């Protein structure tokens, strides 16, 4: 049962009951048109909205530590219909072969702090793309940002 809240001390039960009644009246002809009950129509709509939302979510797998865990998480990604998966570069080919085109493969380059040798980011990014990454999540050097060395950061890319 939905919790009824009050605004400025007013009980909103009556308004909720009116809303529910109006919703039932509006949904009945639509449900009947599709040969469903109102509850079935509402359930399908909620599933549709959840799938639409999941398609916008990128599942972060950068903390995965083993092949078994990675396989399990990739299966979750496929079953829930997530829009993308963020993986470390060493897992790109496995994620790509497991998911195919069901989800976008995003490579986390220089994860987590971006403290790599200059120009290695570019090399790593090119390799990630060649292995099947659809997008890149490139982390820049945190110490360079803290120092304000933005020109040096720009030269690295």
Mind listing the pLDDT tens digit for each residue in 45-64?
Answer: 889 999 999 999 999 999 99
Residue 79: closest CA among 63, 60, 104, 103:
103
- Global pTM reads 0.70
Mind listing the pLDDT tens digit for each residue in 130-156?
Answer: 999 999 988 887 888 888 888 877 777
Residue 112: closest CA among 133, 130, 86:
86
Average pLDDT of the segment spanning 115-126: 80
CA dihedral 20, 24, 25, 26 (to 10 degrees): 100
Concatenated DSSP letters for 34-75?
TT--HHHHHHHHHHHHHHHHHTT-EEE-TT--SHHHHHHHHH
Q: Do the Cβ atoms of 103 and 132 come closer than 8 Å?
A: no
Q: Which CATH architecture describes the domain 55-156?
A: Alpha-Beta Barrel (3.20)
Average pLDDT of the segment spanning 18-39: 79
Task: Quickly state the pLDDT bin for 33 (edges 50, 70, 90).
Answer: confident
Task: Quickly state the pLDDT bin for 128 (edges 50, 70, 90).
Answer: very high
The ranges assigned to domains in the chain are 11-53, 55-156
Q: Rounded CA gap, 78 and 68, in Å?
A: 16
Instruction: Look at residue 95 and tell me whether its pLDDT is greater than 90.
Output: yes
Distance of CA 150 to the CA centre of its chain: 30
Distance of CA 67 to the CA centre of its chain: 21
């Amino acid at each position: 049962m939905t919790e009824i809240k009050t605004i400025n001390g007013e009980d909103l039960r009556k308004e909720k009951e009116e809303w529910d009644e109006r919703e039932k009246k509006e949904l009945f002809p639509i449900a009947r048109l599709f040969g469903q009950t109102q509850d079935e129509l509402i359930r399908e709509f909620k599933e549709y909205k959840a799938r639409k939302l999941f398609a916008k979510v990128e599942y972060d797998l950068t903390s995965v530590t083993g092949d078994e865990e990675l396989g399990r998480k990739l299966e979750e990604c496929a079953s829930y219909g997530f829009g993308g998966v963020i993986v470390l570069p060493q897992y790109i080919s496995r994620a790509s072969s497991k998911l195919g085109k069901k989800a976008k493969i995003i490579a986390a380059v220089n994860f987590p702090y971006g403290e790599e040798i200059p120009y290695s980011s570019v090399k790593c990014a090119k390799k990630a793309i060649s292995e099947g990454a659809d997008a890149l999540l490139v982390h820049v050097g945190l110490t360079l940002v803290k120092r304000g060395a933005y020109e040096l950061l720009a030269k690295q890319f």
